[in-house]
């Protein structure tokens, strides 16, 4: 299967989360051995990234700023809902880029996904261990994704968790009756 390498900018605190969501592969890029994120159209985030990529006339070159390399797997079609195909750029014979707006959108998406994962992790920890162990659960999540170095604090996450808990964030807001096919 053919593939294309694409350098992009991702916030440093989101890189471990991205590497857990998608697999990484070691490959040679411009003579250097690097870990690249394998972007396949078999995952929702892979489809999301693939739909943001655009064709360009010039090859994207890695600069000195923090970047990661995406390894875009080429497939003939991206299957969507009900077998319909999404339209996307065929990159087999061209260069590509992820526009600045696409990179910002990807960063926002990953940040939102990480915050959701963090809150759900803390909530399940809280339900299992009770209030006395909540800080241990937050610290474990921080360790899992290397967040200690990026200004995240246990107290701010704890405060945010209790605010969301009191606001009903973890409760179903609406219920759906499948027999009547109505929202209750």
Q: What is the mean pLDDT of the chain?
A: 82
Rounded to two decimals, the pTM is 0.80
Report d(CA 9, CA 63) in Å as an integer.
10
Say if residue 87 is in the same domain as residue 18.
yes
Compute φ and ψ for 135, nearest 5 degrees.
-70, -30
- Residue 106 confidence (pLDDT) above 80: yes
Sheet holding 68-73, edge to edge: 3-8, 68-73, 32-39, 24-29
Cβ pair 124, 28 in contact under 8 A: no
Say if residue 23 is in the same domain as residue 92.
yes
Q: Which two tokens stand for residue 73?
A: 């797997």
**Region of poorest pLDDT, from 6-15, 78-87, 121-130, 175-184:** 78-87
Say if residue 40 is in the same domain as residue 125.
no
Q: Which of 38, 70, 98 is the last residue of a domain?
A: 98
Q: Return the bridge partners of 27, or none.
A: 34
Domain that holds residue 142: 108-166
* 3-class DSSP state of 106: helix
Say if residue 160 is in the same domain as residue 127.
yes
């Amino acid at each position: 299967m053919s593939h294309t390498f694409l350098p992009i900018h991702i916030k440093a605190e989101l890189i471990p989360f991205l590497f857990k969501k998608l697999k990484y592969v070691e490959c040679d890029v411009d003579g250097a051995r690097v870990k690249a994120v394998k972007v396949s159209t078999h995952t929702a985030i892979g489809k999301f990234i693939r739909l943001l990529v655009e064709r360009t006339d010039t090859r994207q070159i890695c600069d000195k700023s923090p970047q990661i390399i995406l390894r875009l797997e080429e497939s003939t079609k991206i299957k969507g809902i009900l077998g319909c195909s999404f339209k996307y750029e065929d990159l087999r014979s061209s260069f590509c880029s992820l526009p600045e707006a696409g990179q910002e959108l990807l960063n926002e998406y990953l940040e939102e996904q990480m915050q959701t994962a963090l809150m759900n992790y803390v909530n399940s920890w809280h339900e299992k261990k009770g209030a006395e162990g909540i800080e241990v659960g937050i610290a474990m999540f921080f360790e899992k994704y290397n967040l200690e170095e990026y200004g995240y604090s246990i107290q701010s996450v704890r405060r945010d968790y209790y605010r969301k808990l009191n606001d009903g964030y973890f409760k179903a807001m609406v219920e759906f009756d499948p027999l009547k096919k109505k929202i209750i």
